[in-house]
Structure 1
Amino acid sequence: MNTALILIDWIVFLPLALCVGYLLFFAVASRFRSHLIDEGRESYKQHRFLVLFPAYKEDRVITESVGNFLQQDYPGELYDVLVISDHMQPETNDALRRLGANVLEATYPDSSKAKAMALAMQETPAGEYDAVVIMDADNNTVPHFLTRINEVFSQGFTAIQAHRTSKRAATDIALLDAVSEEINNGFFRSGHNAVGLSAALSGSGMVIAEANFRRYVSQLKTAGEDKELEALILKEGCGPIVYIPELPVYDEKTQRQEAISNQRRRWIAAQFGALRAALPDFPKALVQGNRDYCDKILQWMLPPRLVQLAAVFGITVVVTVVSPVASVKWWILSLAQVAAMIVPVPRELMTGRLLKALMRVPVLALIMIGNLFKLKGANKKFIHTQHGE
């Protein structure tokens, strides 16, 4: 290659190498144990929890999810389940009340999860609870969920994230969605905690100290409420956010390609929106030594995983044709990228069925690239994912 092409090759290679290196580092770190939680410490206090289930048109799944949660082995007088019922049938609301849940019927226009949580806090007296648990309408969990949360919350953490994992993966798309979530759990939760950094929030299975949550929830403005909450927590220096990998919250994964396209478009828009809002704070956070917030801003600079995967492999092929010698570093980068994606995947998901499902990845990558051109308004608009189909 001539000098100009060599220069362009390195200009493209170096940023992608940094992105791949970031993911590979945390993928490897995810295989090591975090020491943020003191497992030998005993809990001296049982805290009071408010458990929120924002539910928009979730008649098919909400009753089963709430019934499942109410089987906690934690003292019943120390937690309340509150369903924010938005556009749900009166029969569903009655069934929830019979189960023992409180039901708050939504009164706001333009449905969103952020508005549901804000309404819940407006109707709940300040100081009545120690922490707020946020669940999705399709989530199930284990009977010791609150007991374990209480043990960790007693150690003084402001925010906790449980392990969101797949409830079922009936289709290839659902299986890929489940694998994607586990990869993100490795990169951004267990990997981060292993090196002493804050875990990312997942949108549900989240626990936040009541006083903090009450202050934050009125500031939420977009459909990426989990990222806004992360930014508010870390900007204030209230980390680390801790992740409990052995505490499952079972989540219904997206079953259809059309639904995953809409979901990912909203997620990409939320990430770019969060980055745009937080980037001006980076110099101050760097000077203050707020490494959690700095890392979060850097994390939001990463391209979507499938877009990065497509870019690295696509460029590798092109460079191989143009200059086999120059392509050596690109093939190393491609192998590093594959390693980063494989290391966090749980062994039970590494099956022949996954190999078959991976045939869908090129199409999904093209969809993700297309979504980059359709982000306008996606971060503001609430996109409902159908469950129970």
Structure 2
Amino acid sequence: MDFWWILYIIDWALFIPMAITATYLLFFAVAALFKHKSPAPKAKQESRFIVIIPSYKDDDRIFDTVNTILGQTYPQRMFDVVVVSDHQSEMTNMRLAQLPITLLTPNFAESSKAKSLQYAIINLPQFKIYDAVIVLDAGNIVMPEFLEMMNNAYESAGTKVVQARRVARNLNTSIARLDAIFTEINNSVFRRGHISIGLSASLDGSGYLFNFAWFKQHIMKVHSWVGESKELEAMLMHEGVFIDYADDIFVFDYKASELQVFNRERGKWIYNQLHCQIANVKYLPSAIMNRRYDWIDKLLQWTMMPRTVMMAFITIMSCILPFIYFTLAIKWWFFAALTLMACSIATPNYLVTKDWDKDFLNAPLVTIGSLHQFIRAFRKGMKISVNNIHHKLNHIS
């Protein structure tokens, strides 16, 4: 096989998944422009909520979240707050213990958000009855009307899950602003765009509401060390449960201010997507045969290239190919423009500031870092898969 055949194979093997991903992004970015939902009407009854806040070494930000929840306009008799303080200081725990919340202090050898949520559910008093559970991250800030609006959305949706809109609470650095832009693109493409054509929204890590009975049963089946939301999402799709999205209910989320922190978080997210892809791709033929469109969409979504990794490959191929075989580069330039168009459509106006151009000077550093994290996550995922196969074979023998 000569050099040109090898080049053609590499070119198309990379191009096809990139083209599918870019087209997918553009389609849902345009769909997000139409059919905006009206705010949910006033609920006829008040649901009883349990608000769980897992906090791992977040001594500085946990009080912001707790104080905004305790300052709700929703009747205080209708909600309880549980903070799972994992590896936080004694001083932080002493201050939290003085607040009208339930404080849990587990001592996990290996911490994860899933473990914290499971610990919270296990340690709830048996006599307490709740209609729904809301999960927030330490550092999240919500409006005083948050629980009231979530109650309205929960009753109006008529489903077991509602995802609120996470937005940035800090725009102090270029990396934080880029992270905020990526978050809003996700809101447009994977939530508002999906809802507009009748597909389930995607869960976003925090700021989500679950029917309590469903959550209590299914959270115990989660094993992921980084992203419990993806595993819960897979369970919901498998059971045909619709995920609604409340675009007008804001959860202000603290964004990574440094490139190293951003890339580390991105690496965890990429690994979790690969994990979900490997674990659930076997259900794709059945989903297609049974026309389960939500499940098909979710499985295709997880098999696509992460956006920053895609941008890295498009940039590299667009710059290298003109010097090797000019005509091969044309299609890469076309889909580079398509990707930029999708991202620009999905980015809200409030994030297009005077620092816009300066922020995007950091984009190459983000894409390179994401590419490195993608390779690490892929190697880790393959290693875990091989170990699982060996374990099953040993068990059979």
Does TM, scored on the shorter chain, surpass 0.5?
yes
Please give the TM-score of this superposition, normalised by the length of structure 1: 0.90
Equivalent in the alignment of 1:59: 59
Cα distance change of structure 1 residues 196 and 127 upon mapping to structure 2, 3 Å threshold:
farther
Q: CA deviation at 1:3?
A: 8.5
1:69-88 equivalences under 5 Å are: 69-88=69-88
Q: Which residue does 2:130 correspond to in 1?
A: 129
Supply the RMSD in Å over aligned alpha carbons: 2.4
1:158 Cα offset (Å): 1.0
Gap regions ≥5 residues in structure 1: 382-389
Q: Note the alpha carbon deviations across 1:149-200, whole angstroms, 9 max, x for none.
A: 1111113211111111111121111111111111111111111111111111
Report the alpha carbon displacement of residue 288 of structure 1 after superposing the two structures with TM.
2.2
Match of 2:236 among 233, 240, 250: 233
- The letter of the residue matching 2:154 is F
The secondary structure found in structure 1 opposite 2:221 is coil
Deviation at 1:380, TM superposition (A): 12
Conserved 8 A contact 2:142-2:252: yes
- Alpha-carbon distance, 1:15 to partner: 3.1
Q: Give the 3 Å change call, closer, same or farther, for CA 317–151 of structure 1 in structure 2.
A: same
5 Å matches for 1:233-382?
233-239=236-242, 241-375=243-377
The 3 A distance-change label for structure 1 pair 277 and 308 is same
Note if contact 1:127-1:211 (Cα within 8 Å) is conserved in structure 2. no
Residue 379 of structure 1, CA deviation:
12
The aligned counterpart of 1:384 is none
Residue 343 of structure 1 aligns to a residue in which SS? helix
Structure 2 vs 1, CA of residues 39 and 359 (structure 1 numbering), >3 Å: closer, same or farther? closer
Which deviates more from structure 2 when the two are superposed, residues 121-130 or residues 298-307?
121-130
> What TM-score results when the alignment is normalised by the length of structure 2?
0.89
- The alpha carbon displacement at 1:104 in A equals 1.5
Counterpart residue identity of residue 371, structure 2? I
Provide the C-alpha distance between the structure 2 equivalents of 1:54 and 1:380, rounded to a whole number of angstroms: 29
In structure 1, C-alpha distance between the alignment counterparts of 2:382 and 2:332, rounded to whole Å: 34
Aligned to 2:194: 192
Percent identity, aligned pairs only, is 33
Measure the CA separation in 1 of the matches of 2:195 and 2:381.
30
Cα separation, partners in 2 of 1:8 and 1:251, compared to 1, 3 Å? closer
Q: Secondary structure at the match of 1:157?
A: coil
Q: CA separation in 2, counterparts of 1:62 and 1:10?
A: 48
More helix by share: 2
Distance 1:9 1:378 in 2: 24
CA displacement at 1:377 relative to structure 2: 5.3
Closer, same or farther: CA 290–321 of 1 in aligned 2, 3 Å: same
What code does the residue aligned with 2:145 have?
Answer: H
* Kept in 2: contact 1:73–1:144 (CA 8 A): yes
What is the deviation of 1:51? 0.1
Offset of residue 281 of structure 1: 1.3
Matched-pair contact (CA < 8 Å) for 1:67–1:99:
no
**CA contact 2:57–2:86 (8 Å) conserved in 1:** yes
Distance in 1, matches of 2:259 and 2:4, equals 43
CA contact under 8 A between 2:40 and 2:152: conserved in structure 1? no
Please list the CA deviations of residues 265-301 of structure 1 after superposition, one character each: whole Å capped at 9, or x if unmatched. 1111000001111111111222222211111110011
Partner of 1:160: 162
Counterpart of 2:393 in structure 1 is none
1:189–1:200 contact (8 Å) kept in structure 2:
yes
Which residue identity lines up with residue 182 of structure 2 in the other structure? S
- Measured against aligned partners, the alpha-carbon deviations of 1:250-277 in whole angstroms (never above 9, x if no partner) come to 1110011111121111111000001111
Aligned position for 2:211: 209
Shift of 1:303: 1.1
Give the Cα–Cα distance (whole angstroms) in 1 for the partners of residues 11 and 259 of structure 2.
34
The alignment covers a number of residue pairs equal to 377
Assess, with a 3 A threshold, how the Cα gap between structure 1 residues 170 and 287 changes in structure 2: closer, same or farther: same
Q: Using the alignment, how far apart are the partners of 2:351 and 2:228 within structure 1?
A: 29
1:286-331 CA distances to partner (integer Å, 9 max, x unpaired)?
Answer: 2222211111110011111111112123222333334444443332
CA gap 1:254/1:378 in 2 versus in 1, 3 angstroms: farther
Matched, 1:44 2:44: yes
Question: Offset at 1:107?
Answer: 4.1
What corresponds to 1:180 in structure 2?
182
- How far is 1:64 from its partner? 2.2
Query: Is the CA contact (8 Å cut-off) linking 1:163 and 1:244 kept in structure 2?
Result: yes
Unaligned runs of 5+ in 2: 385-397
Structure 1's 86 and 277: CA in aligned 2 closer, same or farther, altered over 3 A?
same
Are the equivalent residues in 1 in contact too, given 2:69–2:144 (CA < 8 A)?
yes
Matched position secondary structure for 2:85: strand
Deviates more, 1:133-142 or 1:366-375: 366-375
2:392 aligns with none
Out of 105-114 and 224-233, give the one that drifted further.
Answer: 105-114
Residues in 1 aligned to 2:346 and 2:135: alpha-carbon distance in whole angstroms: 25
Deviations 1:72-125 (A, max 9, x none): 111111111110111223332332233311111214432111011001111123
CA–CA distance in 1 between the matches of 2:14 and 2:246? 37
Q: Which moved more, 1:103-112 or 1:159-168?
A: 103-112
